[in-house]
Amino acid sequence: MKKIIKYSLLDILRNRIILAYTLLLALVSISLFLLEDNPAKAIMSLLNISLLIVPLVSSIFCTIYLYNSAEFIELLVAQPIKRSRLLWGVYLGMITALLVALLLGIGLPLLILHPASTSLHLFLISCALTVVFASLATLSAVLTRDKAKGIGLSLLLWFYFTFIFDGLVLLVLFQLADYPLDTAMIGMSMLNPIDMARIGMLLQLDISAMMGLTGALFQDFFGTGAGLLLITFVMLIWMAFPILLAVRRFKNKDL
Amino acid sequence: MIRQLYILVLLIAATVQGNATIHLVKAGESIQAAIKKASAGDMIKVYPGTYREKGILIDKQLVLIGIDFPVLDGEKKYEILTITADHVVIEGFEIIRSGYSSMDELAAVRIKEANYVGVRKNRLRDNFFGIYCQHARYALISDNHITSNGTSELEAGNGIHAWKSDHLVIQNNFISGHRDGIYFEFVTESTITNNQSHKNIRYGLHFMFSHQDIYTQNTFSENGAGVAVMYSRQVTMFHNKFLDNWGSAAYGILLKDISDSKAAFNEFARNTAAIYMEGSSRLSIYANRFVQNGYGIRIQASCDNNTISKNNFIANSFDIATNGSLVLNSFDENYWDKYEGYDLDKDGVGDIPYRPLSLFALIVERNNSAMMLFRSPMVGLLERAEKIMPGITPEKLKDSKPQMKPLPL
């Protein structure tokens, strides 16, 4: 498995797209901090950008990469290697490459320009989202044979989690406005990794004071050690579930 | 009026010095004994030292002057100074550790049914209530440094507390660590000028049923809940600073049931909500600066006939929030940094109206749980759509003459 990881990692790192991604992230984070004299606001803007771009790039890139290396995967399947190890290897190679890009593009500029706990938080959240969307992308690539369909599916997932889900939440909120939904919102937020990442980050910033009762409830729930553990746990489920499902499907897939 | 009062108090001091005896109190002697010996119009000078006297009662016209801040210690048991006579001046003392009681409001200095009293240039530390005016008229409270280290609302008293008084002048004081910095209840025709109220547990300034008061050039910062002005008429608020009142229930200023008042030339910076208005009518809010607040103005639908004009709104998360669709207030001629219109005729006024109420602010006012979607890309998208074609936000809530450039404030 190590060899596969090494191979796909090196293959991706040589890729121009990942280089462009790293540069884009670095450019955005550096220019935000240089333009904005209030670091808290810069962090806020960077959060907005990383909530949009990081999942998008991670899901598109992974799906395309998996389809492009379909021949390589088929070749390896013919070798005496377990299929699960093969997919794990490619997957781990992909996320390592993306995390390296993130480290250089967001982590390093943050460390130099604004070394604070909120920066670390932002970096960790971006990492978690990268892994979650790489898993989802792998799943959609394994589920469909057609390249266009697979990319469409992973785009749709990204679109769902970024826009549609929040729209649905708004709809539910107004349909059930007569019921106390404040605690239910905590459960709702766990159904969307992007929402969880956003709320987790907002609670770290002093802007959370604006969030009123709901904010206070979230703070009460997620602010404690147990809450933080729960966030981590739910995020881990979001990372693990799609890839485990993908590996299961891949084992019996007719290539 | 302030000046007249000031001169009056100074005059009293001057006349006393002119033709009365001066009594000296040295460390170890009793101030109360000196007061007993003195006759009305005398002056008592107190030398440095610590005086523990279980409550001093000043019941005749006297001037008490401390030399190099003699310490009056209440040992956490007694009220320290009680003034019941007119024309008394207290100056230059360090008054510490008044008693604490949950039954009586024990204070460091109490002015009780007395007129023309001056409390100046004292240092008050670690007291329950600081200066307590009860049926006081024409009192001057100035240049005092009042601090305490209260931790909860129950265990702390107010810095300057005034009840059923009128014509007070409160100026140049610094108040910190009390429950409310300055507390007014049934106090009329008074002036609060150039005070600093900082890090108090509840409000920096708290008004209740106090009409025709003026407060100017004060700074209220980092108080638990900002400033509250309630159930009052004809209040004038000019040139004050409301800074850093940040917390889930904090306001720069809370206006509840206020009418016929003015707020102008104030600075509101970094508050959760700079102004929160409820049940208020006929206010003019003009020439203020709203900078980096969570909400600029939260104006409930119960407010009517208020004029909000010629203010600068810069870098607030939400400029205006309201909970209803009925708009009875006007928002003209302000500068909004979020305005995206144009000015073809170059008269400095934008050609298309600005709608300061964002869709999300409206959604949150109607349904608080929606705050979960704060800063979500979905919300950004909705707001864009609403900006282009307003459908949900009230049609009338708009600034038809938005300024293109910030007003020079």
Q: Is the pLDDT of residue A208 over 70?
A: no
The CA distance from B134 to B22, in Å, is: 29
- DSSP letter at B137 equals B
- The CA distances from residue B60 to B18, B33, B83, B115, in Å, are 18, 13, 8, 12
pLDDT(B356) > 70: yes
What 3 state SS string does B207-249 have?
Answer: EECCCCCEEECCEEECCCCCEEEEEEECCEEECCEEECCCCCC
pLDDT for the residue B19: 67
Closest CA to A142 of A130, A132, A154, A158: A154
- The chain A residue lying nearest B249, using CA atoms, is A212
Nearest 5°: the CA angle B101, B107, B112 is: 120
**B15 pLDDT more than 60:** no
Segment 303-342 of chain B within 8 Å of chain A by CB: 317
Predicted pLDDT at A242:
94
Q: What is the mean pLDDT of residues B47-51?
A: 93
Residue B14 has pLDDT above 60, yes or no: no
Instruction: Please compute the mean of the pLDDT values over residues B80-107 and round it to a whole number.
Output: 92
In this predicted model, which residue has the larger pLDDT, A143 or B371? A143
- Which B residues 216-255 touch A at CB under 8 Å? 246-248, 250
pLDDT at B18: 54
Quick count: other Cβ atoms within 10 Å of Cβ A97?
A: 25
* Dihedral sign of CA atoms B364, B370, B375, B379 in order: negative
Instruction: Give the Å distances, CA to CA, from A98 to A31, A105, B317.
Output: 21, 10, 33
What is the per-residue pLDDT across A139-159, written as a single tens digit (0 to 9) for each?
Answer: 999 999 899 999 999 999 999
Q: Which chain A positions have a beta carbon within 8 Å of B371's beta carbon? A: 210-215
d(C-alpha B374, C-alpha B10), whole Å: 57
Q: Is residue B359 classed as helix, strand or coil in its secondary structure?
A: helix
Kindly list the strands in the beta sheet with B251-259, ordered across the sheet, starting from the edge strand earlier in the chain: B56-58, B81-83, B107-112, B129-134, B160-166, B182-188, B205-208, B227-233, B251-259, B273-278, B295-299, B318-321
Contact call for A163 and B364, based on CB within 8 A: no
The CA distance from A108 to A124, in Å, is 13
Of A169, A195, A214, the CB nearest to B368: A214
Q: What is the pLDDT of residues B113-150, one digit of tens each?
A: 999 999 999 999 999 999 999 999 999 999 999 999 87
Q: How far is A237 from chain B (nearest CA, A)?
A: 22
- Each residue's pLDDT tens digit, A8-58: 888 888 888 899 999 999 999 999 988 887 787 888 889 988 899 999 999
Specify whether the CB–CB gap between B70 and B96 falls below 8 A.
no
Q: Is B110 helix (H, G, I), strand (E, B) or coil?
A: strand
Q: How far is CA A230 from the centre of its chain?
A: 17
Spatial separation of the C-alpha atoms in residues B112 and B127, rounded to whole Å: 18
pLDDT in tens, A85-141: 999 999 999 999 999 999 999 999 999 988 888 899 899 999 999 999 999 999 999
Query: Are A214 and B247 in contact (CB < 8 Å)?
Result: no
Q: What is the pLDDT of residues B161-188, one digit of tens each?
A: 999 999 999 999 999 999 999 999 999 9
- Of all residues in chain A, the percent with pLDDT exceeding 90 is 53
Percent of all residues in chain B with a pLDDT value above 70, rounded to a whole number: 95
Q: CB B366 to CB A213 under 8 A?
A: no
Per-residue confidence (pLDDT) for residue B248, from 0 to 100: 78
Res B1 pLDDT > 70 = no
> Minimal Cα–Cα distance from A42 to chain B, Å?
13
Rounded mean pLDDT of chain B? 90
Instruction: Reduce the secondary structure of A196-228 to three states and give it as a string.
Output: HHHHHHHHHCHHHHHHHHHHHHHHHHHCCHHHH
Q: What pLDDT does residue A4 have?
A: 87
Instruction: Tell me which residues of chain A have a C-beta less than 8 Å from any C-beta of chain B.
Output: 44, 47-48, 51-52, 162-167, 169-170, 173-174, 177, 181-182, 185, 188-189, 195, 198-199, 202, 206-207, 209-216, 218
**Cβ atoms of B348 and B405 closer than 8 Å:** yes
Assess contact for B267 and B296: CB atoms under 8 A: no
Q: Which two tokens stand for residue B391?
A: 């459908």
Q: Are B266 and B290 contacting, i.e. CB atoms less than 8 angstroms apart?
A: no
Query: What CATH class does B1-224 carry?
Result: mainly beta
- With H, G, I as helix, E, B as strand and everything else as coil, classify residue B384: helix
Q: What are the extents of the domains in chain B?
A: 1-224, 244-357+394-409
CA distance B73 to B78: 9
**What are the residue boundaries of the structural domains of chain A, listed by start?**
2-251
Neighbours of B276 (CB within 10 A): 23
Over range B5-31, report the average pLDDT.
Answer: 71
Closest CB from A167, A206, A211 relative to B371: A211
- How many angstroms separate the CA of residue B312 from the nearest CA in chain A? 20
Q: What is the DSSP letter of B13?
A: H
Q: How far apart are the first and last CA of chain B?
A: 27
Distances (CA, A) of A3 to A81, A92, B110, B339: 11, 11, 84, 57
Taking contacts as CB-CB distances below 8 angstroms, the residues of chain A near B246 are 206, 209
B115 or B3, greater pLDDT = B115
Amino acid A88: pLDDT: 93
The reply to whether B276 touches chain A by the CB within 8 Å rule is: no
CB pairs under 8 A between A and B: 79
Please state the separation of Cα B126 from the chain's center in Å. Answer: 21
Q: Distance between CA atoms of B32 and B55, rounded to whole angstroms?
A: 9
Per-residue confidence (pLDDT) for residue B10, from 0 to 100: 55
Query: CB distance A202–B381 less than 8 Å?
Result: no
Q: CA neighbours within 13 Å on the CB side: how many for B403?
A: 18
Mention every residue, 6+ apart, whose C-beta is less than 8 A from residue A10. Answer: none
The owner of tokens 């102008």 is B264
Tell me, letter by letter, the H, E, C secondary structure of chain A.
Answer: CHHHHHHHHHHHHCCHHHHHHHHHHHHHHHHHHHHCCCHHHHHHHHHHHHHHHHHHHHHHHHHHHHHHCHHHHHHHHCCCCCHHHHHHHHHHHHHHHHHHHHHHHHHHHHHHHCCCHHHHHHHHHHHHHHHHHHHHHHHHHHHCCCHHHHHHHHHHHHHHHHHHHHHHHHHHHHHCCCCCCHHHHHHHHHCCHHHHHHHHHHHHCHHHHHHHHHHHHHHHHHCCHHHHHHHHHHHHHHHHHHHHHHHHHHHCCCC
Determine the Cα angle at A141 with ends A136 and A147, to 5°.
Answer: 135
Compute how many other C-beta atoms are within 10 angstroms of the C-beta atom of residue B10: 13
Confidence of residue A67 (pLDDT cuts 50, 70, 90): very high
- The answer, yes or no, to whether residue B88 has pLDDT greater than 70, is yes
Q: What is the C-alpha to C-alpha distance for residues A213 and B248, in angstroms, rounded to an integer?
A: 8
CB of B353 less than 8 A from some CB of A:
no
Task: Supply the pLDDT for residue A217.
Answer: 78
Query: DSSP of B19-46, one letter per residue?
Result: HS-EEEE-TTS-HHHHHHH--TTEEEEE
Q: For the segment A229-241, what is each residue's pLDDT rounded down to a tens digit? A: 888 899 999 999 9
Instruction: Provide the pLDDT for residue B6.
Output: 61
What span, in angstroms and rounded, lies between the C-alpha atoms of A28 and A34?
Answer: 10
Residue B390 carries which side chain, given as an amino acid letter?
P
For residue A199, give the nearest of B247, B250, B372 by CB distance: B372
B366 and chain A in contact, CB less than 8 A: yes
Kindly report the number of other CB atoms within 10 A of residue B72's CB atom.
27
What are B63's strand-pairing partners?
Answer: B43, B89
Nearest to A198 among B250, B272, B375 (CB): B375
**Which residue on chain A is closest to B315 by alpha carbon?**
A41
CB contact under 8 A, B364 and A212: yes
Residue for token digits 């690539």? A141
CB B159 within 8 A of CB B182: yes
